[in-house]
Amino acid sequence: MIEEHSSVVLTEPLPAAGLEAGDVGVVVQVHRNGEAFEVEFVTLDGNTLTVETLTAKQIRAARNRDILHVRERPGAA
């Protein structure tokens, strides 16, 4: 089960939020015993990009064998 403060991986793109599948976030709140989650996505310098309410199908737990990938934030100057 995914718990608060767990790292998670987005499994589908969220274009309106500027997020792509594979982006990594941190769970800040669990709703209805894991049916939905508030997930914070941040830049590498720690600034919050967005907090999204996502269903369990839209995220998965991060795994030790996952490799992080860096991309520039959409609209960044």
Residue 77 above 80 pLDDT?
no
- 8 A C-beta contact, residue 24 and residue 2: no
CATH of the domain at 12: 2.30.30
Q: Is residue 33 domain-resident?
A: yes
In angstroms, rounded to a whole number, what is the distance separating the alpha carbons of residues 62 and 47?
A: 20
pLDDT in tens, 11-68: 999 999 999 999 999 999 999 999 999 999 999 999 999 999 999 999 999 999 999 9
| Cα–Cα nearest to 11, from 58, 62, 50 | 58
Residue 76 above 70 pLDDT?
no
Helix, strand, or coil here: 57?
helix
Local confidence band at 1 (pLDDT 50, 70, 90 cut-offs): confident
- The predicted pLDDT at position 17 comes to 94
Domain span holding position 21: 7-61
Local confidence band at 73 (pLDDT 50, 70, 90 cut-offs): confident
CB contact set of 52 (below 8 Å; sequence gap of 6+): 14, 17, 19, 25, 38, 39, 41
For the chain, what is the domain count? 1
pLDDT in tens, 23-35: 999 999 999 999 9
